[in-house]
Structure 1
């Protein structure tokens, strides 16, 4: 996998873990949208606002890309996001299968879309992923 894409994944996960809306602001495209684990869709501003006034707090946040495929100035990353978090005081811990659509523009790699699907059981580290 391209080192730039690996680095993007590290920066994105660290910004999410810290709740760093300013860093995320630089990592998301202007027309970014996210599909949450229950099917809701939120835009860029709403995604960033989750961190205002400490609504979303991560005690831990881990992103392990399973596969990244590059297509010119676009890439698709599939991985597992594991988190211990609260949102508005409610427990939102979980493990999610995640698909990210990344695009390369004048600002470098940026996240255009993310889709999360809950995983009933966390994947075992010693068990290989299947495509």
Structure 2
């Protein structure tokens, strides 16, 4: 089992890469078969997730990953937290807070993000959101 610090470091690296739109870092942090389910039910694969940044369609002014709880199960972990963002997507305001569930797996000795699922919180954050 990994140390809690390894998973906390992974979470920090992921959030920093998302804030910067760093496709090189995200490419290394996401599994090859990464899947994202967005807050309105759309599904994106790894290429589509990275292309939002590569194309310039998505730009963050702020990106947070807070109130995170992580449970580890052997070579996998489930993280649940609140993603906050001040962002522009395809020229439109995309600010908001989302409850996010992450599936993190160990691949060749390193943690990678295999899947995320986002749910809108109605603009609220915190346990009641």
Per the TM alignment, residue 115 of structure 1 is displaced from its structure 2 partner at its CA by 0.4
TM-score, reference length from structure 2: 0.93
Residue in structure 2 matching 1:95, options 71, 75, 97: 97
Write out aligned runs for 1:1-131 (5 A): 2-106=4-108, 108-124=110-126, 129=127
Question: Where do 4+ consecutive residues of structure 1 move more than 6 Å?
Answer: none
Q: Which deviates more, 27-36 or 57-66?
A: 57-66
Q: Deviations over 1:11-65 (max 9, x none)?
A: 0000000000000000000100100010000101000000013110000000014
Structure 2, unpaired ranges of 5+? none
Structure 1, unpaired ranges of 5+? none
Indicate if the aligned counterparts of 1:51 and 1:57 stay in contact, CA closer than 8 A: yes
Give the Cα separation in 1 of the matches to 2:109 and 2:75: 12
- What RMSD in Å do the two structures reach over aligned CA positions? 1.4
Q: Deviations over 1:66-120 (max 9, x none)?
A: 3100000000000000000011101110000000000011150000000000001
Q: Which deviates more, 61-70 or 25-34?
A: 61-70
